[in-house]
Amino acid sequence: MKKINSISPTYIALCFAFLFFIQSFTASLNHSLTWDEPTFISAGYAFLKGGEFRFNPGHPPLIQFLEAIPLLTMDLRSPSLSYEYWAKWDNPVVALGKTLIFESGNDPVQIAFWSRLPILVLGTLLVFFVFLWGRNLYGAWSALVGTALCALCPNLLAHAGLATADMGCTVFFFASCWSFWFAYKKNKIWGWILCGTVAGLAFISKYTALVLVPTFIVVAAVDSITHRSRPVVKSWLQAFLIVSVTAFIVVGLSYGPRPGWGIYLHSLREINLDNIPGYKWYLLGNFSATPWKYYALAAFALKTSFGSLLLLVIALMTTLKRGDNREDLLFVIFPALMLIIASFFDQTNIGLRRILPALPLLYLFTSRIMSRIPMRLPYTALVTVLILWTGVETIRIYPHHLSYFSAMFGGPLNGPQLLDDSNIDWGQDLPYLARWQRQHPEAGKVRLAYFGTADPRAYGVDAEPFMMSEGEMLAPLPGTYAISSHLLVGCKLLVPKYGPRVDWLATYKVRDRAGYSIYIYRFPQ
């Protein structure tokens, strides 16, 4: 019988994974469907139920399938799933999602619950995957550092509780890097087949995963140059042939009997079709007609705990030691770096979620600290304190993980001065607005300007639309107003034309907030 000490790190890692699940699961129960969720749910449902794949062409099918599978067991009232029927709408998939989830007599809360569950399971597995790979790279006890940071990361917790593609892509991207390293170490045919299978799944989770192609090629090139032998080059060529064929088969099968690769490549050309004309990117109080190349890096710094950032810096510093094994730089840090570099050229880079797959790789890398520093009290105490720092910030933001900002930059209350859109407001806080209304009946009917695709009435919100015209913003009528922070941030663009009074965030005192994304104002008679 094994000694308990020899297996206790695994038990601790399982506890971290369970902690992650509980945090994300219970938080998701308190949030309305966010902007993209009805799109993914309804597109997946249309394919599985009606064989129609044209509703959401900018995204591969895997994650949409997973989110829609639980709905097949529900007795849903379904509208027409024919694309031709919905093609007359400006955005067919948004119209289908609104009708299916909010206008057909179905329960949107139950739909959200079951559609989010597969993503929650994937997110939970990710935490344990970080431990398993870290155990191979750094040892079991050291691997708990990265595992803890992953389990306590507000950004991963936020997206694990949403029926979108971001967390699914993150999991398969990480698993692809892990399986690539594993196949490299074993150098067996079955290992490369496994790698190709997982990479194929990553490709059909989100187009972001295509960054794996140049990543694997560069890693192979570096390894070939390092070893300087023809057998190594030949081995890599054979490996890439196996991986490519396997991934090709996986992608080809993902669209059922249709020619999968043809649909996949055609959809890839339509990836930016849903971009909003004239969209203005927002960062640190400034707007731009084009995205900043360093946007994702800035978002990462603003939305990551100082404790986690400092641990990452310390881990990077340990690589300066001579004679140190830097294999993890090639297989762990380099894929994360490639993803971040790709974000420099991303024309839809409007949120930290665009580089979400880099986060678990960066957290995994921090595990090298405990395998490189002396195991003495001052060092272990420092690492423990920094992990606890991250944990405290995560506890403080619960259950509003999506709106998290580092306390070093003012926390979520300062969020609208730093970033907007899915970094803080994705339409998730309708239940909190309904709760606020129940607690403040004297406020009367609220005038609501909401950034989202959900129906506020489905969550108990009693409100009339507030169109946010220039006249209404400059001279608000008496009453109570609830406005999404993303829309308030957009008002800053109107200041040069209409003056500072149109910027409510700067002009008027906020009476209250529903979560951190809906701001409540009250104007007396």
Domain ranges of the chain: 422-523
- pLDDT of 3 > 50? The answer is no
Lowest mean pLDDT among 277-286, 418-427, 431-440: 277-286
Whether the predicted model's global pTM rises above the 0.85 cut? yes
Report the distance separating Cα 313 and Cα 300, nearest Å.
14
- pLDDT of 319 > 60? The answer is yes
The pLDDT value given to residue 413 = 96
- pLDDT of 321 > 80? The answer is no
Report the distance separating Cα 119 and Cα 27, nearest Å.
14
The pLDDT value given to residue 2 = 43
**CB-based contact 179:199 (threshold 8 Å):** yes
pLDDT for 15-36, tens place per residue? Answer: 999 999 999 999 999 999 999 9
Lowest mean pLDDT among 83-92, 103-112, 255-264: 255-264
The better pLDDT of the pair 70, 377 is held by 70
Which residues, including other chains, have CB under 8 Å from residue 458's CB and lie 6 or more apart?
32, 102, 108, 109, 430
pLDDT for 181-233, tens place per residue? Answer: 999 999 999 999 999 999 999 999 999 999 999 999 999 999 888 876 656 77
The length of the chain, given as a count of residues: 525
Helix (H, G, I), strand (E, B) or coil at 187: coil
Report the distance separating Cα 37 and Cα 172, nearest Å.
19
Nearest to 487, CA basis, from 464, 503, 509: 503
The pLDDT value given to residue 361 = 98
Mean pLDDT of the chain: 92
Say whether the peptide bond before residue 399 is cis (omega within 30 degrees of 0).
yes
pLDDT for 434-488, tens place per residue? Answer: 999 999 999 988 999 999 999 999 999 999 999 999 889 999 999 999 999 999 9
